[in-house]
């Protein structure tokens, strides 16, 4: 999805980008790069508001108030770009309607015209609109709360299995940049968008690697040199190996290219995916490593709050999904098999 109001001018083999309303020159980076998006957002913020006056309590007015709210400003730039597309669709289609007159059936009818993924994104935006309307004392109850998310065909990113992890490590030995990128993602459970910009300054004096996530703005805390919690003590050998492998190739950012440049989000994602295919692993994405680590926390006895802290989740419900899955596995696994699984995890950590 391309950003709106960007003028693209080709000069030889380069494409120069400008913010059309202000004429601001944008960085020579991919349009999905966080620095490009941030520069675009700053330029957007300087555009005078020539919008016509809106009826108080209308959908269009609530959309405008949402984008001026503290809640909106607290969201990451990348997430705001995604939501803005759907807010503009809602405003264009229903902007003149009074929010007070909307009912669940009206929102359901709007979402029914969309495919599952955009419908779920639009439902988030409708809830932002109604939350703002409650703050503005336009309504008392949110009519969208009874609407469930649409079922999507895709099951999402599959978690890497221990077999996948072992296979990758066997193929990509310590000292390779593929192994370093893999180990950082597999240990931290970070999204690619956060791992690409992770640097030494994220490691605090208390031994925690802490970073604020670009997607949600949530703060994640990962033990780097600090003591591990009781449920993770079997991972100490693995962690020592992770640190040695990652820091051996780290520059200012932890996952630089061989030319000493920071990796782009898309570049890092493609880098890991290609390395996985080379190792004979198909159907697994970098995001699956996040699920691998958070599932491992749950299966090792870590609480939902521990998963929230490590993964930077915004809500307890998201973290509890991992503990529920771990509980289901524990119900059907016998004591002997459970001990074998623990021993296998310890042996894996020692490799």
Given this model, what pLDDT does residue 302 score? 92
Q: Name the CATH architecture for the domain at 52-154.
A: Orthogonal Bundle (1.10)
CATH architecture of 162-350: Orthogonal Bundle (1.10)
**265-283 pLDDT, tens digit each:** 989 999 999 999 999 998 8
Which whole number is the average pLDDT over 133-156? Answer: 88
- C-alpha span between 169 and 165 (Å, rounded): 6
Percent share of the chain, pLDDT over 70:
91
**74-83 tens-digit pLDDT:** 887 777 888 9
In whole angstroms, give the CA distance from residue 239 to residue 36.
34
Most confident listed range (6-15, 245-254, 317-326): 245-254
- pLDDT above 80 (res 315): no
Task: Calculate mean pLDDT across residues 155-159.
Answer: 79
* CA-closest candidate to residue 176, choices 249, 237, 239: 249
In sequence order, what are the beta bridge partners of 253? 199
d(CA 202, CA 341): 33
Split at pLDDT 50, 70, 90, the class of 113 is very high
Asked if residue 147 has pLDDT above 70, the reply is yes
User: How far, in Å, are 266, 272, 348 from residue 191 at the CA level?
Assistant: 12, 12, 23
Would you call 143 helix, strand, or coil by DSSP? Answer: coil
When pLDDT is cut at 50, 70 and 90, the band that residue 335 belongs to is very low
* Nearest by Cα to 178 from 165, 187, 191, 169: 169
Cα–chain center distance at 89 = 23
Q: What are the sequence ranges of the domains in the chain?
A: 1-48, 52-154, 162-350
Phi first, then psi: what are they for 164, rounded to 5°?
Answer: -60, -45
Q: In whole angstroms, what is the distance from residue 77 CA to residue 55 CA?
A: 28
How far apart are alpha carbons 193 and 286 in whole angstroms? 11
The yes-or-no verdict on residue 97 having pLDDT over 60 is: yes
In angstroms, rounded to a whole number, what is the distance separating the alpha carbons of residues 91 and 132?
14
307 neighbors 294 (Cβ within 8 angstroms):
yes
Q: 3-state class of 303 per DSSP? A: coil
Per the CB < 8 A criterion, the answer to whether 157 and 291 are in contact is yes
User: Using one digit for the tens of pLDDT, what is the confidence trace for 160-216?
Assistant: 999 999 999 999 999 999 999 999 999 999 999 999 999 999 999 999 999 998 888
Mean pLDDT estimate for the chain:
88
> Which of 318, 322, 325 shows the shortest CA–CA distance to 216?
318
52-154 and 162-350 have identical folds = no
Give the Cα separation of 205 and 228 in Å (integer). 15
pLDDT cut 90: percent of the chain above it: 66
- 329: pLDDT strictly greater than 80: no
Q: Of 254 and 338, which is predicted with more confidence? A: 254
Q: What pLDDT shows up at residue 336? A: 45
- Do the strands 14-19 and 6-11 form a parallel or antiparallel pair, or are they unpaired? antiparallel
């Amino acid at each position: 999805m391309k950003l709106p109001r960007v003028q693209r001018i080709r000069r030889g083999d380069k494409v120069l980008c400008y913010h059309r309303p202000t004429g601001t020159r944008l960085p020579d980076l991919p349009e999905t790069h966080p620095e490009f998006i941030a520069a675009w957002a700053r330029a957007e913020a300087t555009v005078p508001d020539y919008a016509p006056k809106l009826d108080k309590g209308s959908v269009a007015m609530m959309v405008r108030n949402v984008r001026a709210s503290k809640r909106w400003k607290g969201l990451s730039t990348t997430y705001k770009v995604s939501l803005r597309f759907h807010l503009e669709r809602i405003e264009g289609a229903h902007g003149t309607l009074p929010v007070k007159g909307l009912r669940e059936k009206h929102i359901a009818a709007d979402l029914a015209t969309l495919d599952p993924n955009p419908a779920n994104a639009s439902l988030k935006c409708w809830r932002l609109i109604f939350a703002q309307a409650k703050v503005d004392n336009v309504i008392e109850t949110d009519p969208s709360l009874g609407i469930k998310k649409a079922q999507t065909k895709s099951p999402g990113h599959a978690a890497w299995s221990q077999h996948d992890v072992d296979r990758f490590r066997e193929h990509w030995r310590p000292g390779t940049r593929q192994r370093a990128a893999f180990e950082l993602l597999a240990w931290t459970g970070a999204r690619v968008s956060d791992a690409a910009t992770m640097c030494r300054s994220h490691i605090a004096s208390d031994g925690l690697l802490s970073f604020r996530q670009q997607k949600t703005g949530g703060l994640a805390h990962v033990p780097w040199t600090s003591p591990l919690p009781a449920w993770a003590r079997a991972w100490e050998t693995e962690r020592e190996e992770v640190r040695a492998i990652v820091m051996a190739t780290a520059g200012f950012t932890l996952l630089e290219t061989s030319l000493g440049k920071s990796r782009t989000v898309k570049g890092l994602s493609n880098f890991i995916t290609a390395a996985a295919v080379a190792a004979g692993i198909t159907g697994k994405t970098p995001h699956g490593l996040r699920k691998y680590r958070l599932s491992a926390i749950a299966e090792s006895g870590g609480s939902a709050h521990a998963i929230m802290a490590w993964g930077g989740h915004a809500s307890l419900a998201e973290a509890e999904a991992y503990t529920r899955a771990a509980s289901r596995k524990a119900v059907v696994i016998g004591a002997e098999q459970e001990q074998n699984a623990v021993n296998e995890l310890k042996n894996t950590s020692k490799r």
